[in-house]
Amino acid sequence: MPKIALVTDSTASIPKDLVDKYNIIVAPQILIWGDETFEDGVNITPSEFYTRIKKATVMPSTTQVTVAKFHEIYQPLLAQDYQILTIILSAKLSGTLNSALQAREMLPPGAPIEIIDSNSTAMALGFHLITVARAIKQGASFPECVALAQKARDHTGIFFAVDTLEFLHRGGRIGGATRFLGTMLNFKPILELRDGRVEPIERVRTRSKSLSRIVELTVDKVGSRTPVRLSALHANAPEDARLVLQEASAKLNPIETVFSEVSPVVGVHAGPGVVGIVYMAGM
């Protein structure tokens, strides 16, 4: 069996039991809060983050995984003769991909490191990694794993409902949803991560309607494709996320479901209360 290592970044928000099961190496994004610096998911957990942000007078900011961190990950893996497949969140949302590329350039030419832009984040990115990890366990070659990761981009998506666009706007991740700004009083925006960018879908008047609507949109997008995998993601809204996962599962009969709390770095940009549905369909 080939020695293949999987590397990603912490925005993938893969539950720890799956990270451990599939030996996925997670490079932490960086959270900056006043004079303090945290490694996403290492020395600050989602629950700690959302407890703290409720009382915060200074809002946190984020920065990408450092070049040094990727270099630190890559060197020992290469020394153990691993081929390294790195699958990263969308380059349209972060400079993390560039950090990984720079780290590769610091290593000997021809080092077996493939770096792929997932065009996504959260558990859409997570499903890419889990799919490849399962293929590795079945003996897939390195080129086969690279091709599978590239194929996964066309089979996954995310719809999500937010209470406000304030956080996405402040962090510069708002994409085409800028056209909703200034018109959102009394409305809840529904967004999609499309082609690596946050894009607007529509506005509805209530929270409950927004949650129902992301289920409807997911069902429409999946269509007749099978098999289906689903994940509910949330930022400090577990009850709402469980309800949408239950509703979507009843309509789509998935072969796998994952419940995921988004990482603090994603929470900084999406804002508390976000609920989303991730799907992988047809592979």
Residues 223 and 258 in one domain: yes
**Strand ordering across the sheet containing 61-63:** 36-39, 30-33, 61-63
Contact 26, 10 (CB under 8 A): yes
Residues 134 and 247 in one domain: no
103 compared with 187, residue with greater pLDDT? 103
Query: Which residue from 27, 233, 227, 23 is spatially nearest to 134, judged by alpha carbons?
Result: 23
Of 126, 153, 180, the position where a domain reaches its end is 153
Contact 198, 174 (CB under 8 A): yes
Residues 98 and 188 in one domain: no
Looking at the chain, the whole-number percentage of residues with pLDDT higher than 70 is 92
Neighbours of 2 (CB within 10 A): 13
Neighbours of 68 (CB within 10 A): 12
Encode pLDDT of 65-97 as tens digits: 999 999 999 999 999 999 999 999 999 999 999
Residues 133 and 215 in one domain: no
Instruction: Report how many domains make up the chain.
Output: 2
Residues 19 and 73 in one domain: yes
Would you say residue 175 has pLDDT above 60? no
pLDDT for the residue 256: 98
The tokens describing 237, both together, are 């809204």
Residues 107 and 239 in one domain: no
Of 138, 153, 168, the position where a domain reaches its end is 153
pLDDT for the residue 185: 53
Q: Which residues contact 271 (CB under 8 A, 6 or more apart)?
A: 162, 163, 164, 166, 167, 168, 235
CATH at residue 211: 3.30.1180.10
pTM comes to 0.90
Query: Which residue from 107, 121, 110 is spatially nearest to 274, judged by alpha carbons?
Result: 121
pLDDT for the residue 178: 47
pLDDT for the residue 181: 44
CATH at residue 12: 3.40.50.10170
Domain span at 206: 155-281
Encode pLDDT of 242-270 as tens digits: 999 999 999 999 999 999 998 888 877 77
Of 118, 133, 153, the position where a domain reaches its end is 153
Residues 29 and 109 in one domain: yes
